[in-house]
Structure 1
Amino acid sequence: MSPHESRAPRTGGVIWRRTVPAARQARILPDGCTDLIWSSRTGLVIAGPDTTAALATLTAGERIVGLRFPPGTGPAVYGVPAAALTDQRVRLDAVWPAATVREIEERMGGDDPGDLLDRVAAARLAAVGGPDRRAGAITAALAAGRTVGETAAGLGLTERHLHRASRDLFGYGPKTLARILRLRRALALLRAGAPKATAAADAGYADQPHLSRDVRALAGVTLSDLVD
């Protein structure tokens, strides 16, 4: 976790904060998560699950606070399936009552923004009985390298039902989620100092070129661009 990040105590997510010193574009890599984001420029926005890297345009002086939910948790907070948000940035008042969103935005100046987002999201989760429990089990199984068939069997689902549940929870099917989680594992190993070939093997790739192809496809840049 970076110095700009902290654990969200109520939702189990990550609160992150940024102040933009100069206008730029930021490359956001897919991670299987959704974020609830407040910006001093745009207000409250949902960042849906990305299938490939997204480019965010940031303006000088902009203040941004986000709450990144654990994979599969966001849909329970927003009240819409993740597939309706895939590869999109949607204003929160498109899915919540405008008056509710306006009230939250008015409070962002007085309260700690990250804590407020966590409290608001926790209240929504409590109202619906918490996140879908299958989300954590699916994520854990795929992150551990289980096949789609093994993951479905472990949950007592058919592969078809697993695919449907994954689209609702994560915004895409289990094969795409597994591919994204594998890339995140490899990048974490590389940033911890592992050689590229070792990181590729330990993350579950056939070889380093396989990792390089996935980086190009999912991040839109070369492996060296990301880690060198």
Structure 2
Amino acid sequence: MTVAVEPYRERPARVAGAELWTRTSEGGEFRILPDGCMDLLLMDDELYVAGPDNRAWTGSAPRGTRYAGVRFAPGAAPGFLGVPARELLNERVLLAELWSPNRARRLLDRIRSSQDHADRADALDLEVARLAEGPADGLTAQVLSSVRSGLLRGSAGVSRLAGTIGLSERQLHRRCLDAFGYGPKLLDRVLWMNVALDHARTGLPLADVAMITGYADQAHLTRDVKALTGLPPRVLIS
């Protein structure tokens, strides 16, 4: 039997800020880069949770393995799962290990009622939206806003943010571990690395990418990407 291999596709999910994605494996190894996110995965016929990564994660799957996933926005998945992100750092676990087996099975049964792969992805999206709570808490939103605006760059960034929120740096670090799996500085590095790689994939020279994304220079960008992914940016892009 010939297995049709589908390319990676994604679109906005029903949950605010999340993405719904699908893929059928070509076989062999694959590399997933840290992005500050957590995913609920339907892999063939089972539900898994992919925790946040602080380094590139490599795995393999037979050709034809089917995936559908909801990728939550940074900080959003712990509220849905009821588990602090720090407990899932660099982990892939069955949803039934985090929820009761009966609760996880009921969710899976509702998704299984859709017969083809595309419908199952949509069913996953719909069921997650039905179970999801409201938006992330205020602290999570403040941290992400500070990252996106560049306020965490520099040696005093975390101290400024902690003072603005009214927490000590240690309290801020602990709250960030619960929400993101990372402290605020590592979250900043991971999210800005992904912004830089997105720019680099357009063909923009790395020196220009470094300048517009707040790195000291191209060498700084290359060192940080390699530290987080194991590969320099030119290799990742190619």
Q: TM-score, normalised by structure 1?
A: 0.91
1:115 partnered with 2:119: no
Q: 2:54 aligns with which of 44, 51, 56?
A: 51
Identify which range, 28-37 or 6-15, moves more after superposition: 6-15
Aligned to 1:160: 170
1:65 partnered with 2:75: no
How far is 1:144 from its partner? 1.9
CA contact (8 A) 1:11 1:121 kept: no
Partner Cα distance (1:134, 1:119) in 2: 27
Aligned to 1:184: 194
Count of aligned pairs between the two proteins:
223
Partner Cα distance (1:38, 1:11) in 2: 20
Partner Cα distance (1:158, 1:166) in 2: 12
Partner Cα distance (1:186, 1:199) in 2: 6
Percent of aligned pairs with the same residue? 39
Q: TM-score, normalised by structure 2?
A: 0.87
1:207-222 equivalent positions in 2, closer than 5 A: 207-222=217-232
Compared CA separation, residues 63 and 140, structure 1 to 2 (3 A):
same
Compared CA separation, residues 140 and 113, structure 1 to 2 (3 A):
farther
Identify which range, 116-125 or 212-221, moves more after superposition: 116-125
Q: Cα deviation per residue 1:94-150 (whole Å; 9 max; x = unaligned)?
A: 111111222222333333333333333333333xx5432321221121122112122
Question: Partner amino acid for 2:66?
Answer: R
How far is 1:192 from its partner? 2.4
Aligned to 2:3: none
What's the C-alpha RMSD, in Å, of the aligned pairs? Answer: 1.8
5+ residue gaps, structure 2 = 1-6, 152-156
Question: Partner amino acid for 1:136?
Answer: A
Question: Partner amino acid for 2:18?
Answer: G
Moved >4 Å (runs of 4+)? none
Aligned to 2:154: none
Q: Cα deviation per residue 1:72-109 (whole Å; 9 max; x = unaligned)?
A: 00000110100000011011001111112222223333
CA contact (8 A) 1:45 1:89 kept: yes
Q: 2:138 aligns with which of 121, 133, 140?
A: 133
Q: 2:27 aligns with which of 23, 28, 45?
A: 23
Compared CA separation, residues 36 and 4, structure 1 to 2 (3 A):
same
How far is 1:46 from its partner? 0.5
CA contact (8 A) 1:197 1:208 kept: yes
Identify which range, 76-85 or 56-65, moves more after superposition: 56-65
Partner Cα distance (1:197, 1:174) in 2: 26
SS in structure 2 of the partner of residue 181 of structure 1: helix
How far is 1:53 from its partner? 0.3
How far is 1:3 from its partner? 6.8
How far is 1:187 from its partner? 0.6
CA contact (8 A) 2:8 2:22 kept: no
Q: Cα deviation per residue 1:148-180 (whole Å; 9 max; x = unaligned)?
A: 122223323221221011000000111110110
